[in-house]
């Protein structure tokens, strides 16, 4: 039997659920297709969610969603092989506005979000994979899922970085290894008391901690630790083509990261309860596919709506915002009964007015800048060596800071290279 909906959304992640919630709330008939056994079963991120988007969609979510902690502190560390130099920032404002940054586990959160979608009237079908689009008279009018054909006025692809449907719709080609990073993550169980003592946490406050340098073996990428209620998420993201060229496995790098002298003691005694891996689109606007076609939209990771500048790596807030924009576009098209590409182009206009495409355009040079090997090798080693010499008290006469700085640079990097990198950083981030 062939069914017909106003909208079919493929993927029950943040983008898909945000879109479905908004559409169903507006009275449209919505079907969400999720290939995992349940929403969140196949989804992964490091664990941090930034921005107010979810709070605008669900104002009271904090009181009922399975949020692990709000982010009370943010740390960024440069790692040499043995040392660690860290910037540690906390703000009273974080506790006053927890919606601005919080920590989640996708396996819990996505199930909760999908249940909220069902509460407003949408259908969520798990364990069902969309294999292809259905075309009629030059317009996409539904999807093929195994032997089933399901029709809709519009299909919204929220099926991740390797979006099959965006490719079937002719909006993108094959993903290149240079355009994505491999993410690997472990979740380690601790008692809540032990976790809070180790990371100096109080109440519901949590820690977002990013690393650059030896954690990735000098390859482009970084590490992270996020504190949950009674566990922590630890992982890496590493440029996929660099892993292939160096014939290194991300899992081996993760093991090395966990054994770093600055990290090992913090993880000691943790019980492994979850492992996951995921590809992350990191080339920004340079890899963004077409966002719309006749009867078709693309949102979230499927649209490569992720921003990485070296200081930040965000995608969930972009996913939520794009899902909401897609829903607003579909509702407007429904009013006119016009789901042509011309009508759905409104989606791109909404994203251009919002922070989504503005941020991607602002930091469009960041992906190329972050390919600079010195960021992951020379500079972390140099920074740690400099700190060691500045803070040393060995009974010898002290030298001025500038003398120590230039001395530490010898044999590592020239002033001209540093100047060039600073200029490029200014343009990129």
Which has the minimum average pLDDT: 108-122, 221-235, 370-384, 412-426? 412-426
For residues 14 and 40, give the distance between their C-alpha atoms in angstroms, rounded to a whole number: 10
Confidence of residue 124 (pLDDT cuts 50, 70, 90): very high
Instruction: Give the pLDDT score at 236.
Output: 95
Is residue 210 assigned to a domain? yes
- Is 94 strand, coil or helix? helix
Instruction: Give the pLDDT score at 77.
Output: 97
Residue 33: CATH number of its domain: 3.50.50.60
Residues 336 and 384 in one domain: no
Is residue 186 assigned to a domain? yes
In whole angstroms, what separates CA 20 from the centre of its chain?
Answer: 20
Residue 328 has pLDDT above 80, yes or no: yes
**What percentage of the chain reaches a pLDDT higher than 90?**
73
For residues 142 and 162, give the distance between their C-alpha atoms in angstroms, rounded to a whole number: 19
For residues 66 and 58, give the distance between their C-alpha atoms in angstroms, rounded to a whole number: 14
Residues 42 and 158 in one domain: yes
For residues 20 and 122, give the distance between their C-alpha atoms in angstroms, rounded to a whole number: 7
Residues 198 and 53 in one domain: no
Other C-beta atoms lying within 10 Å of the C-beta of residue 371: 13
The larger pLDDT score, comparing residue 413 to residue 345, is at 345
Is residue 260 assigned to a domain? yes
For residues 295 and 423, give the distance between their C-alpha atoms in angstroms, rounded to a whole number: 44
**What percentage of the chain reaches a pLDDT higher than 70?**
98
Confidence of residue 355 (pLDDT cuts 50, 70, 90): very high
Residues 159 and 267 in one domain: no
Is residue 91 assigned to a domain? no
Q: H-type helices in 97-177, by residue range?
A: 106-119, 164-168
Residues 294 and 347 in one domain: yes
Mean model confidence pLDDT for the chain: 92
Q: List, for residues 48-78, the tens digit of each pLDDT value.
A: 888 888 888 998 888 899 999 999 999 999 9
Q: What is the largest CA-CA distance in the chain?
A: 86
Confidence of residue 97 (pLDDT cuts 50, 70, 90): low
14-25 helix and 106-119 helix, angle to the nearest 10 degrees: 10
Instruction: Give the pLDDT score at 51.
Output: 81
The pair of structure tokens assigned to 353 is 């007015």
Confidence of residue 309 (pLDDT cuts 50, 70, 90): confident
- DSSP structural state of residue 401: H
Confidence of residue 412 (pLDDT cuts 50, 70, 90): confident
| CA distances (Å), origin 333, targets 30, 32, 318, 347 | 15, 19, 22, 10
Q: List, for residues 154-182, the tens digit of each pLDDT value.
A: 999 999 999 999 999 999 999 999 999 99
Residue 1 has pLDDT above 70, yes or no: no
Residues 374 and 344 in one domain: no
Residue 188: CATH number of its domain: 3.30.9.90
Is residue 360 assigned to a domain? no
Instruction: Give the pLDDT score at 98.
Output: 60
Instruction: Average the pLDDT over 316-334 and give the result.
Output: 96
In whole angstroms, what separates CA 161 from the centre of its chain?
Answer: 11
Is residue 385 assigned to a domain? yes
Residues 35 and 161 in one domain: yes
For residues 207 and 413, give the distance between their C-alpha atoms in angstroms, rounded to a whole number: 33
Is residue 59 assigned to a domain? yes
Residues 265 and 304 in one domain: no
Residues 374 and 250 in one domain: no
Please identify, among 239, 258, 281, the residue that sits at the C-terminal boundary of a domain.
Answer: 281
Instruction: Give the pLDDT score at 2.
Output: 61
Answer whether 259's CB lies under 8 Å from 239's CB: no
Is residue 384 assigned to a domain? yes
Residues 225 and 258 in one domain: yes
Answer whether 94's CB lies under 8 Å from 100's CB: yes
Domain residues for the domain of 272 are 178-281
Confidence of residue 196 (pLDDT cuts 50, 70, 90): very high
Residues 23 and 56 in one domain: yes
Instruction: Give the pLDDT score at 300.
Output: 95
Residues 158 and 185 in one domain: no
Instruction: Give the pLDDT score at 241.
Output: 95
Please identify, among 259, 281, 303, the residue that sits at the C-terminal boundary of a domain.
Answer: 281
- DSSP structural state of residue 237: E
Please identify, among 281, 307, 338, the residue that sits at the C-terminal boundary of a domain.
Answer: 281
Instruction: Give the pLDDT score at 137.
Output: 93
Count of domains forming the chain? 3
């Amino acid at each position: 039997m062939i069914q017909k909906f106003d909208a079919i959304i493929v993927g029950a992640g943040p983008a898909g659920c945000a879109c479905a919630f908004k559409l169903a709330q507006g009275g449209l008939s919505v079907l969400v297709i999720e290939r995992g056994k349940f929403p969140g079963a196949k989804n992964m991120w490091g664990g941090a969610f930034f921005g107010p988007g979810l709070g605008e969609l669900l104002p009271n979510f904090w009181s009922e969603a399975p949020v692990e902690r709000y982010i009370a502190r943010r740390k960024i560390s440069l790692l040499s092989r043995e040392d660690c130099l860290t910037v540690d920032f906390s703000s009273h404002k974080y506790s006053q506005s927890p919606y601005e940054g919080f920590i989640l586990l996708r396996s819990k959160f996505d199930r909760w979000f999908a249940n909220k979608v069902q509460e407003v009237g949408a259908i969520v079908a798990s364990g069902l994979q969309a294999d292809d689009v259905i075309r009629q008279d030059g317009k996409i009018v539904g999807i093929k899922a195994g032997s089933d054909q399901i029709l809709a006025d519009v299909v919204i692809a929220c099926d991740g970085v390797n979006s099959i449907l965006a490719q079937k719709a002719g909006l993108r080609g094959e993903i290149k290894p240079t355009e994505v990073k491999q993410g690997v993550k472990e979740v380690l169980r601790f008692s809540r008391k032990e976790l809070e003592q180790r990371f100096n946490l109080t109440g519901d406050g949590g820690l977002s901690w990013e690393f650059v340098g030896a954690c990735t073996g000098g390859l482009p990428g970084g590490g992270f630790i996020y504190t949950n209620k009674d566990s922590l998420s630890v992982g890496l993201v590493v440029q996929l083509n660099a892993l292939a060229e160096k014939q290194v496995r991300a899992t081996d790098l993760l093991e090395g990261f966990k054994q770093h002298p600055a990290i090992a003691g913090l993880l000691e005694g943790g019980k492994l309860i979850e492992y996951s891996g995921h590809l992350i689109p990191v080339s920004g606007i340079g890899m963004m596919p077409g966002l719309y076609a006749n009867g078709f939209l693309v949102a979230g990771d499927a649209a490569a709506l992720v921003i990485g500048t070296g200081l930040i790596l965000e995608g969930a807030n972009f996913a939520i915002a794009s899902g909401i924009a897609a829903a607003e576009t579909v509702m407007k098209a429904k009013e006119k009964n016009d789901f042509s590409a011309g009508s759905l182009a409104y989606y791109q206009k909404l994203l251009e007015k919002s922070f989504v495409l503005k941020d991607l355009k602002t930091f469009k040079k960041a992906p190329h800048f972050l390919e600079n090997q010195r960021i992951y090798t020379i500079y972390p080693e140099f920074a740690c060596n400099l700190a060691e010499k500045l803070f040393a008290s060995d009974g010898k006469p002290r030298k001025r800071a500038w003398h120590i700085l230039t001395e530490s640079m010898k044999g590592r990097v020239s002033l001209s290279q540093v100047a060039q990198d600073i200029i490029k950083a200014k343009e990129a981030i």
